[in-house]
Amino acid sequence: MLTGIHILLTFMCNEACDHCFVFSGPNAKGTFTLSQLRTVLDEATKLGTVESVYFEGGEPFLFYPTMIEGMRSARSKGLKVGLVTNAYYATSEEDAELWLRPLYEMGVSDLSVSDDSFHFGKEKDNPAKRALAAAKKLGLPASSICIGKPTVKAGIDKKKDKGVPVVGGGVIFRGRAVEKLLEGLPRRPGEDFTECPHEDLKEPKRVHLDAYGNVHLCQGLSMGNMWQTPLSELVSNYSADSHPICGPLAEGGPLLLAKEYNLEHQGEYVDACHFCYLLRLTLLSRFPEYLTPRQVYGLE
């Protein structure tokens, strides 16, 4: 039962962080129009189960008027609205208030602000902190998201991980993180990765939507295209078992995906997502309608 949709309002971002799993950056294309947003919200409402809509990116504030109208439209349908931002516009607390006041006035229920070393290095007074202070002053519910650079620590106290080095910091190894952040990290054999650790591919509670129409179950892994088949129909008819990538992933993780398509799996990987992402890269041309858009794999 789908309860949340996450709208990737744009892939464009003023930053190009090393850990970004959709390869966002200043030149990234793919931005929703207002009319596309209205279509999505109408379709989400038709499902009758969706309670909340998040606006994310990229950096959604780069398209501020469209974002605001989209959020208003979602609120008018009785949906809870949240958003994720890097707060680049918070040049001062007073200025941040200007940008955030309309959100407070329309009853946005969550502002998540990226506040970590990927975005701001070690700066103490940074835009995220200013935006969080402004949100607090307005009474707008807000919190920070903090992803650290990958660190290596002793294995957690679970049988299978005991004594094995694990990678901390919260980075998920897909997208640009695979290109930029793997060096020096401990790896494990492909045979270890027999489940998808982060997404419920059988009964997804949320999906991410992009302006090309892709309905992502995980970034770059699409259920189908909502500009070809309406979102409500796609979601109602979805079954992991008949999806060529989600089926094996849901049943036996990246290892089963590799076996299903006779792909190399003798290598070593930092985590399940790293393994899964590399497998998906080799399957891109075989399943272009499901492994898309190519730009989230760092390709043209």
**Contacting residues toward ligand SF4, per CB under 6 A:** 174, 196, 198-199, 218, 221, 249, 254, 272-273, 276-277
- Dihedral sign for Cα 213, 242, 44, 280, please: negative
User: From the CB of 7, what's the least distance to ligand SF4, in Å?
Assistant: 19
User: From the CB of 213, what's the least distance to ligand SF4, in Å?
Assistant: 20
Contact yes or no for 281/273 (Cβ under 8 A)? no
User: From the CB of 70, what's the least distance to ligand SF4, in Å?
Assistant: 26
Number of H helices, E strands in the chain: 9, 12
| One-character DSSP codes across 108-166 | --EEEEE-SHHHHTT-SS-HHHHHHHHHHHHT--EEEE--PPPEEEPPPSSGGGTTS-E
CB closer to ligand SF4 out of 155 and 197: 197
CB closer to ligand SF4 out of 127 and 169: 169
User: From the CB of 72, what's the least distance to ligand SF4, in Å?
Assistant: 32
Show the tokens assigned to 197.
């650790």
CB closer to ligand SF4 out of 29 and 198: 198
Contact yes or no for 56/84 (Cβ under 8 A)? yes
Show the tokens assigned to 247.
């089926």
User: From the CB of 277, what's the least distance to ligand SF4, in Å?
Assistant: 6
Contact yes or no for 53/4 (Cβ under 8 A)? yes
User: From the CB of 80, what's the least distance to ligand SF4, in Å?
Assistant: 24
CB closer to ligand SF4 out of 70 and 169: 169
CB closer to ligand SF4 out of 198 and 205: 198
CB closer to ligand SF4 out of 194 and 236: 194
Separation between Cα atoms, residue 57 and residue 20, nearest integer Å: 10
